[in-house]
């Protein structure tokens, strides 16, 4: 069993929708903080400048003498990106949710390690109770953990960021954070496996970077050698990842530049893998609904029907199976968060809010049960 630390980014191919509650565009926390990550008996002290997200894999065992099964950290496998949903569940609901994910074939779960709750008041006091409860429940299922360090507490934000969890991004600040974090993490736990923050499907403009532009800027700012793998969120809905458009999946996977795999190869890092730490499509929300027979691209839909959600996932699985350069694949998300149609954020689940399965559930379950 394994644990990682990581963070978030938004999901959309065409127009940006309202920023979701737990993702937000790439942002950077510009203050010096000390995070003590108490990982099932492994203590890692970081003296870093944390940003929007950071990912670390730390292997651990149930006891000093009884190791849990371990999925090789870079191996192809399937998981669920759960975001902040697990922390809010009572123990019975949490156990049922994790059992459901296990039964579906998930070998990884990705969820928030909310810094704003862990160190709510100051830099000296820690409250790990909420995180520990979810970690303990997940360990019982022998599922690997991708923990997302996110949400800056108010006391740690620069003055210009007091009204927001996000600060203006710069590649130089991100690169410095990554270099400092990587050195501190490896000193504390040499076996830790560090990923970049999740890259999201954005254009390059005054407030955001495209995934490829941001990744190349990290290299230009000296980040090479300070990550073990790349995290990407190649959302394409309502398009299929197999389509030829210049969507986030092709910006990740096309062999010729500009793409993430081409950038890795050009910088001598072709042996490092790309983890797909979020992918999915919403089946509810405001606006037009794209279908398999009518994508309605001229209307910029942010919603797909059940059949198209399943088809998009199947196409992604088929492509994923064909790649040699990928790590685990995380689907967002397990279950719909609600029924309010004012936002598509409620409808990314493989399972509806009432517990019934969407067609995409079977696609995931079959994919996770087959050898890779």
**Per-residue pLDDT tens for 237-291?**
999 999 999 999 999 999 999 999 999 999 999 999 999 999 999 999 999 999 9
CB atoms within 10 A of CB 155: 13
- Rounded CA-CA distance 169/28 in Å is 6
DSSP string, 190-257: TT-EEEPPPB-S---SSS---HHHHHHHHHHTT-TTS-SBEEE----TTS-TTS-SS-HHHHHH-SSS
Q: 9 falls in which pLDDT band (50, 70, 90)?
A: very low
Lowest mean pLDDT among 3-7, 161-165, 300-304, 335-339: 3-7
Q: Is the dihedral of CA 236, 242, 246, 250 positive or negative?
A: positive
- Rounded CA-CA distance 16/305 in Å is 19
Whether pLDDT at 148 is above 70: yes
- Rounded CA-CA distance 141/19 in Å is 32
- Angle between helix 359-369 and helix 306-322 axes, rounded to 10 deg: 20
3 state DSSP class of 266: helix
Tokens 């050195």: give the residue.
183
Residue 172 has what pLDDT?
85
Residue 56 has what pLDDT?
53
- Rounded CA-CA distance 181/270 in Å is 22
Q: What percent of the chain has pLDDT over 70?
A: 78
58: left (phi over 0), alpha (psi -120 to 50) or beta: beta
Whether pLDDT at 166 is above 80: no
All domains of the chain in start order, with CATH: 2-369 (3.20.20.80)
Residue 68 has what pLDDT?
45
Lowest mean pLDDT among 46-50, 189-193, 312-316: 46-50
- Rounded CA-CA distance 183/176 in Å is 11
Give Dmax over CA atoms of the chain in angstroms.
60
More confident residue, 232 or 51: 232
Whether pLDDT at 230 is above 90: yes
Strand 42-48 relative to strand 289-290, pairing: unpaired
Burial of 124 (0-12, 13-18, 19+ CB in 10 A): exposed
- Rounded CA-CA distance 263/159 in Å is 35
- Average pLDDT on 318-341 reads 97
Enclosing H/E stretch for 188: helix 171-188
Residue 237 has what pLDDT?
98
287: CB partners within 8 A, 6+ apart: 299, 300, 301, 302, 303
Residue among 84, 148, 134 nearest 334 (CA) = 84
Q: 59 falls in which pLDDT band (50, 70, 90)?
A: low
Q: Is the dihedral of CA 215, 219, 222, 227 positive or negative?
A: positive
């Amino acid at each position: 069993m394994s644990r990682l630390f990581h963070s978030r980014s938004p999901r959309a191919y065409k127009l940006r929708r309202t920023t979701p509650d737990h993702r937000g565009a790439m942002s950077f926390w510009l203050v010096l903080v000390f995070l003590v990550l108490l990982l099932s008996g492994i203590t890692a002290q970081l003296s870093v400048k944390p940003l929007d997200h950071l990912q670390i894999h730390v292997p651990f065992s149930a006891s000093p003498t009884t190791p849990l099964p371990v999925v090789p950290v870079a191996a192809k496998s399937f998981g669920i990106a759960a975001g902040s949903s697990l922390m809010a569940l009572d123990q019975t609901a949490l156990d049922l949710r994790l059992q459901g994910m296990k039964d579906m074939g998930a070998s990884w779960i990705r969820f928030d390690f909310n810094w704003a709750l862990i160190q709510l008041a100051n830099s000296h006091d820690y409250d790990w109770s909420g995180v520990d409860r979810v970690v303990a429940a997940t360990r019982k299922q022998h599922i690997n953990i991708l923990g997302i360090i996110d949400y800056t507490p108010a006391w740690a934000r620069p003055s210009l960021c007091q009204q927001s969890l996000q600060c203006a991004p710069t590649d130089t600040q991100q690169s410095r954070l990554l270099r400092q974090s990587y050195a501190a993490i490896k000193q504390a736990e040499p076996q830790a496996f560090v990923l970049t923050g999740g890259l999201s499907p954005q254009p390059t403009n005054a407030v955001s970077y495209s995934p490829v532009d941001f990744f190349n800027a990290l290299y230009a700012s000296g980040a090479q050698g300070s990550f073990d793998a790349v995290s990407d969120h190649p959302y394409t809905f309502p398009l299929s990842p197999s389509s030829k458009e210049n969507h986030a999946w092709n910006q990740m996977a096309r062999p010729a530049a500009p793409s993430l795999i081409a950038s890795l190869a050009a910088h001598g890092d072709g042996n490092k893998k790309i983890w797909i730490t979020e992918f999915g499509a919403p089946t509810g929300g405001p606006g037009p609904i794209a279908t398999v027979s009518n994508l309605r691209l001229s209307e910029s839909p942010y919603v797909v029907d059940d059949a198209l959600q399943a088809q998009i996932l199947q196409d992604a699985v088929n492509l994923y199976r064909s790649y040699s350069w990928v790590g685990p694949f995380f689907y967002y998300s397990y279950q719909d968060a609600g029924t309010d149609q004012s936002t598509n954020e409620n409808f990314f689940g493989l399972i509806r809010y009432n517990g019934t399965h969407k067609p995409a559930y079977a696609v995931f379950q079959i994919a996770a049960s087959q050898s890779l």
